[in-house]
A and B are shown apart, each in its own frame.
Chain A
Amino acid sequence: MINFQYARAHDVADAVRQMAADPTAKFIAGGTNLIDLMKEDVERPSRLIDISRLPLKTITETADGGLRIGALVPNSDLAYHPLIEQRYPMLGSAILAGASQQLRNMASIGGNLLQRTRCYYFYDIATPCNKREPGSGCSAIKGLNRIHAILGASEACIATHPSDMCVALAALDAKVHVTGPAGERTIAFSQFHRLPGNAPQRDTNLQPSEIVTAVELPARGFASNYTYLKIRDRLSYAFALVSIAAALELEGATIKEARLALGGVAHKPWRDTAAEAALRGQAADRAAFTHAADLLLRDARGYAHNSFKIELARRGIVRALTQAAQGTPQPQSNKKIL
């Protein structure tokens, strides 16, 4: 880890001002990903701007029946918040599927959105990586790529976004509130993270010096028919090979509304509105779920070691939609195949 200067931000405007004055600085909140990356010399900020004391720690109801979640709410506090447990249990389940309780106690909501990929080559500064060092090449595409993307990848980068929480936020149609030098703006969740294209160094569409201040949930929470199913190499405390956020609104046995997003498969949480549209108006049965899975995976492509993810995702989608339709979400402490 290199030496760096440390300063606290007094308010959001001060944080933006300090960042604009020093483009080699980084914001730090929970620090659970940034400090790890600094220890590996992947991140080498000249200055840390500590935003952890800013007043962005409240969860408030919005006028249209949704929730506004401050960017500095710890992951664990959000997962166990009564309004999340009652109205957005898929989000709570997704949060509890990620990391460990120690990390969730520190990690912020905004930081969860901004965490970097866990691609081994991104972490290893001895190897080329277009995300870490643009133009140096992708070591994963012809290297060890068991954990890598099957959807939306490019020749430049096949890394995946590591978050569980963001998969649920994508399915729930959240919005991200940010503040920058030009003022405040709101970004639809589907537009927040990027596909790698030829600029994999950019994980998100945040502009320089912009800071995430809140995440907003719409009123619709799918509290009756949902699941967050995470499949990984260990039973706990591991990143997803494939994860599925599935949410349904049913009228009798017919699907009125469907949401389907996947983690561990792409450079961003992978929500497919075509697969959702194909579920609407259909009977909630295996045939419809299999069709949706095939549709979502229509452009899936495997590399040397990760082609198994395509079939894993197909089966996982069917299982997740079945759990959602039956109203039997899989709790994160239950490791049985249901």
Chain B
Amino acid sequence: MPRTSTLQVAPHADHRRLRARAPDKIPVALTVNGTATQLKVAPWTTLLDALRDHLDLTGTKKGCDHGQCGACTVLVDGRRINSCLTFAVMMDGATVTTIEGLAATGALHPLQQAFIDHDAFQCGYCTPGQICSAAGLIAEGKAKSADEIRELMSGNICRCGAYPNIVAAIRQAMGRS
């Protein structure tokens, strides 16, 4: 099989992927926030780009796009993952929950309320990832103390430095869960 041509591209220009030939789009079935969804995506479409660009679910944020910041955290089959580091085609058949689908209709999720109660953000860019990650953490049931919450939330960076309030918010939500 011939290799795709590889022209020089600027670093981080991967959102303008070069297309030496027409992309072979692949059907993918996902259940996203309770709704069965059919997509056709190129194999190099990340789950993050599928959610944001194909399904218009822009609550999930693209921060570093390299699995280092956690802004893209979603729940797949109930487990928290970095949606920037998985291809949508690999998720065929999966159930995905994003920040838009976390709460029951018409109410805030206890974590959303706790983040408001504790002022657990400033700019808010990391917050959808923080809240999805915290929902995964609570479901895992491994963190009990504040130290354990901090360790198991270390995949979510907050450049504003709202960490003490994030831990307080998660502790409040754990008490309610």
> Which residues from chain A sit less than 8 Å from chain B, CB to CB?
1-6, 22, 24, 28, 31-32, 35-36, 38-41, 44, 46-48, 50, 52, 80, 99-103, 105-106, 235-237, 332-335
Contacts and interface: CB of A to CB of B under 8 A. Distances in A.
Contacts of A2: 3-4, 6, 17-18
Given A3-B4, A332-B151, A35 B85 contact: yes
Given A3-B21, A44-B6, A50-B90, A101 B85 contact: no
B82 A106 contact: yes
Given A6-B89, A22-B1, A103 B155 contact: yes
A333 B156 CA distance: 16
B151 A333 contact: yes
**What 4 pairs between A and B have smallest CB-CB spacing?**
A100-B155, A6-B43, A236-B154, A333-B151
Given A2-B17, A100-B155, 19 more contacts: A3-B4, A3-B21, A6-B24, A22-B1, A24-B1, A28-B87, A31-B86, A35-B86, A35-B87, A36-B66, A40-B11, A44-B6, A100-B70, A100-B154, A101-B137, A102-B80, A105-B81, A236-B151, A236-B154
B87 A101 contact: no
A52 B133 contact: no
Contacts of A28: 87, 90
The B interface, classified by DSSP as helix, strand, loop or mixed, is loop
A39 B148 contact: no
Given A39-B65, A46-B4, A50-B90, A31 B85 contact: yes
Given A6-B26, A99-B155, A333-B151, A36 B4 contact: no
Interface residues of B, number: 47
A35 B64 CA distance: 13
B67 interface: yes
Interface of B: 1, 3-4, 6, 9, 11, 14, 17-21, 23-24, 26, 42-44, 46, 65-67, 70, 73, 79-82, 85-87, 89-90, 133, 136-137, 140, 142, 145, 147-148, 150-152, 154-156
Nearest to B5: A2
Contacts of B137: 101
Contacts of A235: 154
Contacts of B20: 3
Contacts of A332: 151
A36 B9 CA distance: 16
Contacts of A32: 67, 82, 85
A48 B90 CA distance: 11
Contacts of B82: 32, 102-103, 106
Given A3-B18, A3-B21, A5-B43, A102 B70 contact: yes
Given A36-B67, A332-B151, A106 B24 contact: no
A332 B89 CA distance: 34
B80 A101 contact: yes
Given A103-B67, A106-B82, A3 B17 contact: yes
Given A36-B67, A102-B133, A4 B4 contact: yes
A47 B73 CA distance: 27
B79 to A, nearest CB: 5
